[in-house]
Amino acid sequence: MRLYYKKLGSGKPMVILHGLYGSSDNWISIAKLFSEHFEVYLVDLRNHGKSPHDDKHNYELMRDDLIEFLDERGLGKVVLVGHSMGGKVAMCFAQHNPGRVEHLIVVDIAPKSYKELYRRESLNHSDILTAMKSIDLKEAASRRDIDRMLSEKVKPIRVRRFLMKNLERNDDGVYRWTLNLDVLIRELDNIMDGVNRNCFDPAFPVTGIPVLFVRGGNSPYIQDEDMDFIDKIFPSAGLITIPDTGHWLHAEQPEALAKAVKEFVSG
């Protein structure tokens, strides 16, 4: 699959993979901070942003999409950064293609299942995707109309603003979601799980690659006890915590995240 991407800066190649509902646009601000030292590639994963929609969505396919992306651009070893869903893609890619990764940075996600976490949350991913799907975009004359309709089921304004970054108008002026909602709804359990031997096999630990996990101090996604399993797959992995931030570190604390990544890559 030919993935859409944006490129900034020059230097050592860095590829950034966004999370669920995300796109390359969400990482522009922090990519500008990285672009002083890196040639940054911001990639839209399948069924997101401006990349193609497809009837299948799993980590093995997203891993293979990334291989194709690197090969098409003649990129050998890269600094690979992945957040949330993109972090699982990055981990899966590194385990199967360690020779293509110079440094691996995994942002606020662990190689474990998150099914129970998202089901316990008061506003879980199933609710969000269903709310987006339920809106009749043909009835919306403006983004304000969509925000009003979405607010009936998605109360936090910050979450709505993030979701509405996935809106665009078609040639007829009608709004559309750039996300492939039908497929993401159908594959949500697999996205939240994503733990299988095709991606994360402790029998074949990844060595020889510097690995850093970065978590938000207010986020529940990486717990201290998760490091036991992380160590089995990435024995040399380090962990840092950025305080006073949740799951979306790149939006809440971009300078702190950029500083941590640059210091890690520079050694």
Q: Which residues are catalytic?
A: 84, 247
Q: Which residues pair with 240 in a beta bridge?
A: 214
CB 174 within 8 A of CB 138: yes
Instruction: For residue 36, give the DSSP letter.
Output: T
CB 249 within 8 A of CB 216: yes
Q: What distance in Å separates the CA atoms of residue 95 and residue 56, rounded to the nearest whole number?
A: 22
Q: Which residues pair with 82 in a beta bridge?
A: 17, 106
For Cα atoms 79, 179, 60, give the angle at the middle one, nearest 5 degrees. Answer: 50
Read off the tokens for 252. 């809440």
Q: What distance in Å separates the CA atoms of residue 19 and residue 87, rounded to the nearest whole number?
A: 7
CB 14 within 8 A of CB 78: yes
CB 235 within 8 A of CB 255: no
* CA-based nearest residue to 220, from 95, 114, 111: 114
Q: Beta strands of 11-110 (E only): which ranges?
A: 12-17, 38-43, 78-83, 101-107
CB 48 within 8 A of CB 75: no
What residues have CB less than 8 Å from 164, skipping those under 6 apart? 143, 146, 147, 150
CB 14 within 8 A of CB 34: yes
